[in-house]
Amino acid sequence: MDAEGFSSDIAPDIATATALLRSREYVALTLDIKLAGESGIKLFHDIRASPVNSDIAVIVISAVADEARGSLNGSAVGIVDWLEKPVDSKRLHAALAKILAGRTEQRPKILHVEDDEGVLAVMSEGLGSGVSITSAKTLKDAREAIAQHGFDLVILDIALPDGSGLDLLADLPLETGVIVFSAAELDQKLGDRVQAIMTKTRASEIDVAKLVRSMLVSSRTLPVAHAKE
């Protein structure tokens, strides 16, 4: 799968698949119905009920795909295709292309963690309607948003009413980009976890918006999860 332009993780059982799906956002899941004696159908229902990756596109790959189709009985929301083993590679590629085509129509998701209404408003105007922006004025609100949604990028203030914005870094998936935009003077050595640090006294919201757009248009590898034996 890596050779096709995707990075991928392989889960041999439900516990591993569940842990991976909680740890990062995926563009698609290929799902075997029988996982080391466990039920892939149960995993499917658990995913749809989960706050993370609940809307992930699913491709069922199984020796009993037709049987699984009947057992789901109308609850197969978000299943793009049902592939019997051995897998027809052309059909798999077509299913992945369909998923990607739908994804390109989605707006990039940005979380802006900031307690200043004025900064939030100017940043929103600067970024325009081409992105989906969620704002959070406290660490608590930001953590709730991160738990419920996947974001392509986070714009992060440091001085928040209930603590330091840097505390959120541990809560973010590694593939989520981070721009620190704060009045505080920070050590530039925050490692690879932060892509840019911009100080409010030296940069404007428009400067940050330009950087965000340049980061979003840069190409990135889309991850796919595989739940199979």
CA 60 vs. chain centroid, Å, equals 21
Strand partners, 153: 110, 177
Q: Tell which residue, 23, 22, 30, 24, has the closest CA to residue 1.
A: 30
Residue 112: predicted pLDDT:
95
Provide the whole-model pTM. 0.51
Spatial neighbors of 189 by CB under 8 A, at least 6 apart, are none
Site of tokens 């050590």: 187
Domains of the chain by range and CATH? 2-105 (3.40.50.2300), 109-217 (3.40.50.2300)
SS3 content of the chain, % helix, strand, coil (to 5): 40, 25, 35
Residue 74: predicted pLDDT:
47
Task: Name the token pair of 228.
Answer: 């199979």
User: Residue-wise pLDDT tens for the chain (229 aa)?
Assistant: 554 556 788 888 888 988 888 887 788 888 887 776 677 778 888 887 776 777 788 888 877 666 666 665 545 566 888 888 888 888 888 888 887 776 655 678 899 999 999 999 999 888 887 788 899 999 999 999 998 888 889 999 999 999 999 999 988 887 788 999 988 777 666 666 788 888 998 889 889 988 888 777 653 444 556 666 5
Cα–Cα distance between 192 and 169 in angstroms, integer?
11
Residue 221: predicted pLDDT:
42
Cα–Cα distance between 23 and 192 in angstroms, integer?
18
